[in-house]
């Protein structure tokens, strides 16, 4: 089993990445808003801590958050890991290039609380 962590830089790609992962066989994906040190240093407004108590729409637009999305999932085998890496890069581009994202694959000794969806077979879809 493997834990896949992916920090997505361009949040406009989120839906496409999620769809690509599902097509690879991922059953569940957790998505968290996140930011990194570089974004905090680039823009003082990366976190919306300086908005007025009662912000106007103009205040919100002016202080737009610069957030990433961190996705994580647990998968069973190497084949799914490789498929996810390739599918992710097909959406966001080469992960070795800047402004695409950061991915880490971590081997797991054990995981608990995973509720797997039953695998659908061809006969299941023919009976519908």
Quote the number of domains for the chain.
Answer: 1
Could you read off the pLDDT of 37-80 as tens digits, one per residue?
A: 877 777 654 445 555 556 666 655 555 556 899 999 999 999 99
Judge whether 117 lies within some domain. Answer: no
Per-residue three-class SS string for 34-93: ECCHHHHHHCCCCCCCCCCCCCCHHHHHHCCCCCEEEEEEEECCHHHHHHHHHHHHHHHC
Judge whether 40 lies within some domain. Answer: yes
Report the relative pairing of strands 2-8 and 68-75 from DSSP bridges.
antiparallel
pTM for this entry: 0.74
Tell me how far apart the alpha carbons of residues 25 and 5 are, in angstroms, rounded to a whole number: 16
Judge whether 89 lies within some domain. Answer: yes
Domain hosting residue 19, numbered range: 1-47+68-109
- Residue 8's CATH number: 3.30.70.120
Judge whether 76 lies within some domain. Answer: yes
Judge whether 102 lies within some domain. Answer: yes
Judge whether 11 lies within some domain. Answer: yes
Give the SS3 label for residue 8: strand
Report the relative pairing of strands 101-107 and 68-75 from DSSP bridges.
unpaired
What's the pLDDT score for residue 15? 97
């Amino acid at each position: 089993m493997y834990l896949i962590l992916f920090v997505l830089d361009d949040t406009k790609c989120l839906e496409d990445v999620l769809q690509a992962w599902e097509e690879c066989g991922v059953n569940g994906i957790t998505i968290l808003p996140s930011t990194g040190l570089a974004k905090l240093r680039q823009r003082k407004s990366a976190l919306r801590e300086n908005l007025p108590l009662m912000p106007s729409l103009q205040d919100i637009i002016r202080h737009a958050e610069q957030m990433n999305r961190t996705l994580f999932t647990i998968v069973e085998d190497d084949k799914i890991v490789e498929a996810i890496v390739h599918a992710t890069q097909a959406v966001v581009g080469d992960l070795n290039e800047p402004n695409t994202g950061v991915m880490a694959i971590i081997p797991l000794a054990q995981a608990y609380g995973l509720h797997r969806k039953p695998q659908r077979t061809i006969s299941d879809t023919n009976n519908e």
